[in-house]
Amino acid sequence: MTQDNKACLVAGELPVASQLTFITPNTKVRLITAHDQALYLELYTDANIMRFIGKLYTKERVTQSFFHALKLTALSPWERLFFVIESNCRLQSFGLMGLTNTGDAGVEFGIMLRQQVQGKGLASEVLQQCIARLFALGVSKVWLQLHPDNAAAIAMAQAAAMTKLPGSMAENQQIWFIEQQHDKNCRRH
């Protein structure tokens, strides 16, 4: 990496977790901590939120998952990171964001929000800023899996200029992605 091109990563190198926190006009996205267990449990045990995401688990299973998420977020290099989304005016937590390193396939993005803040454009705001941050740090592809009946999530992907992968249906999920061409001025070693 050259001094004048700090955003360029060596091929296969990932940004460190702390580089992936950010602030948008309405949110603050920070790494998950042990203090976020109640939010994690609330979201992952809410049948209405989970209907487009996956299987609904027991509180005990979600508690185990939470502690596993904390361990994963602490690893370096990371495979999976978990973030909390807060209102940046009241610092009230209302959502979770996840990033998964999928190697050459890029970074998978996931988000879940409390029902009372859904439909306000916050998920789109977070996704767009996350894509911009990942691209600025040298990640070339961001993708997500969406249930075909989740119109709000599909609108979020479209607002972020993502493209649906034709014929993509894995476990009743569509794959949406966005790619960035590598900066020709980025000098790799």
Residues 120-171 have pLDDT tens digits of 999 999 999 999 999 999 999 999 999 999 999 999 999 999 999 987 666 6
Checking DSSP bridges between strand 27-31 and strand 80-87, what pairing results, if any? antiparallel
Q: Which has the closest alpha carbon to 34: 79, 70, 82? A: 70
CB-count exposure of residue 185 (10 Å: 0-12, 13-18, 19+):
exposed
Q: Which of 77 and 14 is assigned the larger pLDDT?
A: 77
Reported pTM? 0.88
| Whole-number Å distance between alpha carbons of 5 and 87 | 32
**pLDDT, tens digit, for every residue of 15-58?**
889 999 999 999 999 999 999 999 999 999 999 999 999 889 99
